[in-house]
Structure 1
Amino acid sequence: MLVFRDETNRKMLENHEKAGRLRRLSSGIYSSDLETDPAVQIRQNVVRVLAYLRPGAVISHRSAILPDFGASEGLVVVTDPALSENYIHNLPGLVVVATPGPAPLASDVHLGGVYASSP
Protein backbone atom coordinates (compact mmCIF):
# COMPACT_ATOMS: atom_id res chain seq x y z
CA MET A 1 0.00 0.00 0.00
CA LEU A 2 1.31 3.44 -0.91
CA VAL A 3 1.30 6.27 1.60
CA PHE A 4 1.92 9.89 0.63
CA ARG A 5 3.65 12.41 2.87
CA ASP A 6 1.99 15.61 3.97
CA GLU A 7 2.58 17.97 6.86
CA THR A 8 0.45 15.90 9.25
CA ASN A 9 2.19 12.55 8.77
CA ARG A 10 5.77 13.51 7.92
CA LYS A 11 7.34 12.50 11.25
CA MET A 12 5.30 9.29 11.54
CA LEU A 13 6.41 8.17 8.06
CA GLU A 14 10.04 8.90 8.85
CA ASN A 15 9.76 6.87 12.08
CA HIS A 16 8.12 3.93 10.29
CA GLU A 17 10.83 4.04 7.62
CA LYS A 18 13.60 4.01 10.25
CA ALA A 19 11.88 1.07 11.99
CA GLY A 20 11.73 -0.85 8.70
CA ARG A 21 7.93 -0.89 8.40
CA LEU A 22 7.87 1.41 5.36
CA ARG A 23 10.10 1.87 2.34
CA ARG A 24 10.60 5.24 0.64
CA LEU A 25 9.97 4.84 -3.08
CA SER A 26 10.49 8.46 -4.04
CA SER A 27 10.26 11.88 -2.44
CA GLY A 28 7.07 11.84 -0.35
CA ILE A 29 5.98 8.39 -1.53
CA TYR A 30 6.26 5.43 0.83
CA SER A 31 5.11 1.83 0.73
CA SER A 32 4.31 -0.79 3.31
CA ASP A 33 5.11 -3.43 0.65
CA LEU A 34 8.77 -4.13 1.29
CA GLU A 35 8.98 -6.97 -1.24
CA THR A 36 7.63 -5.66 -4.57
CA ASP A 37 9.95 -3.69 -6.83
CA PRO A 38 9.38 0.08 -6.36
CA ALA A 39 9.01 0.57 -10.13
CA VAL A 40 6.15 -1.95 -10.20
CA GLN A 41 4.45 -0.28 -7.24
CA ILE A 42 4.67 3.16 -8.85
CA ARG A 43 3.32 1.92 -12.20
CA GLN A 44 0.47 -0.05 -10.57
CA ASN A 45 -0.63 3.07 -8.68
CA VAL A 46 -0.04 5.60 -11.44
CA VAL A 47 -3.27 7.58 -10.92
CA ARG A 48 -2.71 7.94 -7.16
CA VAL A 49 0.92 8.94 -7.75
CA LEU A 50 -0.12 11.55 -10.31
CA ALA A 51 -2.76 12.92 -7.93
CA TYR A 52 -0.06 13.34 -5.28
CA LEU A 53 2.55 14.89 -7.59
CA ARG A 54 0.32 17.08 -9.77
CA PRO A 55 -3.13 17.50 -8.19
CA GLY A 56 -5.64 18.91 -10.65
CA ALA A 57 -3.53 18.03 -13.69
CA VAL A 58 -4.92 16.43 -16.84
CA ILE A 59 -3.41 13.24 -18.22
CA SER A 60 -2.91 14.36 -21.79
CA HIS A 61 -1.26 13.82 -25.13
CA ARG A 62 -0.72 10.17 -26.07
CA SER A 63 -0.91 9.15 -22.40
CA ALA A 64 -4.63 9.96 -22.30
CA ILE A 65 -5.50 7.31 -24.88
CA LEU A 66 -3.41 4.45 -23.48
CA PRO A 67 -5.16 1.92 -21.21
CA ASP A 68 -2.71 2.46 -18.34
CA PHE A 69 -1.94 6.10 -19.25
CA GLY A 70 1.55 5.09 -20.40
CA ALA A 71 2.67 3.54 -17.12
CA SER A 72 3.72 0.26 -18.79
CA GLU A 73 5.86 2.26 -21.22
CA GLY A 74 7.38 4.25 -18.34
CA LEU A 75 6.23 7.69 -19.52
CA VAL A 76 3.14 9.73 -18.62
CA VAL A 77 2.45 13.24 -19.89
CA VAL A 78 0.17 15.58 -17.96
CA THR A 79 -0.98 19.14 -18.54
CA ASP A 80 -0.97 21.22 -15.38
CA PRO A 81 -2.58 24.67 -15.15
CA ALA A 82 -0.42 25.45 -12.09
CA LEU A 83 2.81 25.36 -14.11
CA SER A 84 4.52 28.10 -16.08
CA GLU A 85 7.22 25.80 -17.52
CA ASN A 86 7.79 22.08 -18.07
CA TYR A 87 8.65 19.92 -15.07
CA ILE A 88 9.91 16.34 -15.09
CA HIS A 89 9.40 13.89 -12.22
CA ASN A 90 11.82 10.95 -12.35
CA LEU A 91 10.38 8.07 -10.33
CA PRO A 92 11.35 4.42 -10.15
CA GLY A 93 10.10 2.94 -13.43
CA LEU A 94 8.21 6.05 -14.48
CA VAL A 95 8.91 9.51 -15.88
CA VAL A 96 6.14 12.08 -15.52
CA VAL A 97 6.42 15.02 -17.90
CA ALA A 98 4.26 17.92 -16.71
CA THR A 99 3.59 20.73 -19.15
CA PRO A 100 1.77 24.03 -18.62
CA GLY A 101 -1.71 24.18 -20.06
CA PRO A 102 -5.41 24.75 -19.51
CA ALA A 103 -7.46 23.53 -16.57
CA PRO A 104 -9.62 20.41 -17.00
CA LEU A 105 -12.61 20.72 -19.30
CA ALA A 106 -16.10 19.72 -18.20
CA SER A 107 -15.81 16.70 -20.52
CA ASP A 108 -12.55 15.44 -18.98
CA VAL A 109 -12.85 12.35 -16.79
CA HIS A 110 -12.24 12.94 -13.08
CA LEU A 111 -10.12 10.14 -11.62
CA GLY A 112 -9.84 11.36 -8.05
CA GLY A 113 -7.25 14.13 -7.88
CA VAL A 114 -6.34 14.16 -11.58
CA TYR A 115 -8.26 14.05 -14.83
CA ALA A 116 -8.00 12.11 -18.09
CA SER A 117 -8.33 14.23 -21.17
CA SER A 118 -11.53 13.72 -23.11
CA PRO A 119 -11.36 12.94 -26.85
Structure 2
Amino acid sequence: MRSLVLAFVLALSPLPNLPQIPPGSEIRVVSPDLLTVYVVWHVEQRNLVLQSKLAAPANREVRVLFRVDGGYRPPYNGVTTPGGDVVLLIQGERISLSELLTRTYRLNLPNGRVLPEVR
Protein backbone atom coordinates (compact mmCIF):
# COMPACT_ATOMS: atom_id res chain seq x y z
CA MET A 1 0.00 0.00 0.00
CA ARG A 2 2.82 2.39 0.87
CA SER A 3 4.46 1.94 -2.55
CA LEU A 4 1.12 2.64 -4.25
CA VAL A 5 0.80 5.93 -2.37
CA LEU A 6 4.44 6.81 -3.17
CA ALA A 7 3.88 6.07 -6.88
CA PHE A 8 0.77 8.29 -6.89
CA VAL A 9 2.61 11.15 -5.16
CA LEU A 10 5.56 10.85 -7.56
CA ALA A 11 3.18 10.94 -10.54
CA LEU A 12 1.78 14.26 -9.33
CA SER A 13 5.11 15.88 -8.45
CA PRO A 14 7.59 17.32 -10.95
CA LEU A 15 10.58 15.28 -12.01
CA PRO A 16 13.84 15.90 -10.17
CA ASN A 17 15.73 18.79 -11.88
CA LEU A 18 12.63 19.70 -13.91
CA PRO A 19 10.22 21.96 -11.98
CA GLN A 20 8.42 23.10 -15.16
CA ILE A 21 8.31 22.58 -18.93
CA PRO A 22 7.82 26.04 -20.45
CA PRO A 23 6.84 26.82 -24.07
CA GLY A 24 9.80 26.37 -26.41
CA SER A 25 10.99 23.25 -24.58
CA GLU A 26 11.67 19.97 -26.35
CA ILE A 27 11.10 16.38 -25.26
CA ARG A 28 13.07 13.55 -26.89
CA VAL A 29 12.69 9.80 -26.47
CA VAL A 30 15.99 8.21 -27.50
CA SER A 31 17.90 4.94 -27.32
CA PRO A 32 20.16 4.29 -24.29
CA ASP A 33 23.25 5.17 -26.36
CA LEU A 34 21.50 8.42 -27.44
CA LEU A 35 22.09 7.58 -31.13
CA THR A 36 18.54 6.62 -32.16
CA VAL A 37 15.86 9.28 -31.75
CA TYR A 38 12.38 7.78 -31.56
CA VAL A 39 10.24 10.84 -30.91
CA VAL A 40 10.81 14.59 -30.72
CA TRP A 41 8.08 16.84 -29.38
CA HIS A 42 8.17 20.62 -29.18
CA VAL A 43 6.12 22.45 -26.53
CA GLU A 44 4.01 25.24 -28.02
CA GLN A 45 1.93 27.01 -25.40
CA ARG A 46 0.57 23.95 -23.50
CA ASN A 47 0.51 21.63 -26.54
CA LEU A 48 3.01 18.97 -27.59
CA VAL A 49 3.71 19.24 -31.32
CA LEU A 50 5.33 16.30 -33.09
CA GLN A 51 8.62 17.19 -34.79
CA SER A 52 9.74 13.69 -35.81
CA LYS A 53 8.83 10.09 -35.09
CA LEU A 54 10.37 6.63 -35.43
CA ALA A 55 8.32 3.86 -33.82
CA ALA A 56 10.01 2.41 -30.73
CA PRO A 57 9.40 -1.30 -30.12
CA ALA A 58 7.55 -2.25 -26.92
CA ASN A 59 9.60 -3.13 -23.85
CA ARG A 60 12.61 -1.24 -25.17
CA GLU A 61 14.88 0.62 -22.76
CA VAL A 62 14.97 4.33 -23.61
CA ARG A 63 16.12 7.67 -22.25
CA VAL A 64 13.87 10.72 -22.07
CA LEU A 65 15.62 14.04 -22.59
CA PHE A 66 14.16 17.46 -21.85
CA ARG A 67 15.64 20.60 -23.42
CA VAL A 68 14.48 23.50 -21.29
CA ASP A 69 15.71 27.09 -21.58
CA GLY A 70 18.25 26.09 -24.24
CA GLY A 71 19.95 23.34 -22.24
CA TYR A 72 19.38 19.60 -21.81
CA ARG A 73 18.56 18.18 -18.39
CA PRO A 74 20.12 14.86 -17.34
CA PRO A 75 18.28 11.97 -19.05
CA TYR A 76 15.58 9.97 -17.30
CA ASN A 77 15.58 6.18 -17.76
CA GLY A 78 12.46 4.48 -19.00
CA VAL A 79 10.95 1.52 -20.85
CA THR A 80 8.45 1.65 -23.71
CA THR A 81 5.12 -0.12 -23.21
CA PRO A 82 2.99 -2.09 -25.69
CA GLY A 83 0.40 0.73 -25.50
CA GLY A 84 2.92 3.33 -26.69
CA ASP A 85 3.69 5.04 -23.37
CA VAL A 86 7.05 5.30 -21.63
CA VAL A 87 7.33 4.18 -18.03
CA LEU A 88 9.98 6.22 -16.22
CA LEU A 89 11.94 4.73 -13.35
CA ILE A 90 12.08 7.48 -10.70
CA GLN A 91 13.30 6.81 -7.16
CA GLY A 92 12.61 3.09 -7.58
CA GLU A 93 9.02 3.66 -8.77
CA ARG A 94 7.46 3.30 -12.22
CA ILE A 95 5.76 6.49 -13.45
CA SER A 96 3.84 6.90 -16.74
CA LEU A 97 5.37 9.67 -18.87
CA SER A 98 2.02 10.54 -20.46
CA GLU A 99 0.34 10.80 -17.06
CA LEU A 100 3.21 12.90 -15.73
CA LEU A 101 3.06 15.28 -18.71
CA THR A 102 -0.71 15.73 -18.51
CA ARG A 103 -1.34 15.75 -14.75
CA THR A 104 1.81 17.36 -13.39
CA TYR A 105 3.01 19.61 -16.20
CA ARG A 106 -0.48 20.24 -17.66
CA LEU A 107 0.58 19.62 -21.26
CA ASN A 108 -1.89 18.55 -23.93
CA LEU A 109 -1.05 15.34 -25.76
CA PRO A 110 -2.15 15.43 -29.41
CA ASN A 111 -5.25 13.37 -30.22
CA GLY A 112 -5.19 11.81 -26.75
CA ARG A 113 -2.24 9.62 -27.71
CA VAL A 114 0.65 8.79 -25.40
CA LEU A 115 4.42 9.07 -25.91
CA PRO A 116 6.00 7.66 -27.96
CA GLU A 117 3.34 6.77 -30.49
CA VAL A 118 3.70 3.15 -31.59
CA ARG A 119 1.68 1.68 -34.43
**TM-score of the alignment, normalized to the shorter chain, above 0.5:** no
Please, what TM-score do these two structures have when normalized by structure 2?
0.30
More helix per residue: 1
Please, what TM-score do these two structures have when normalized by structure 1?
0.30
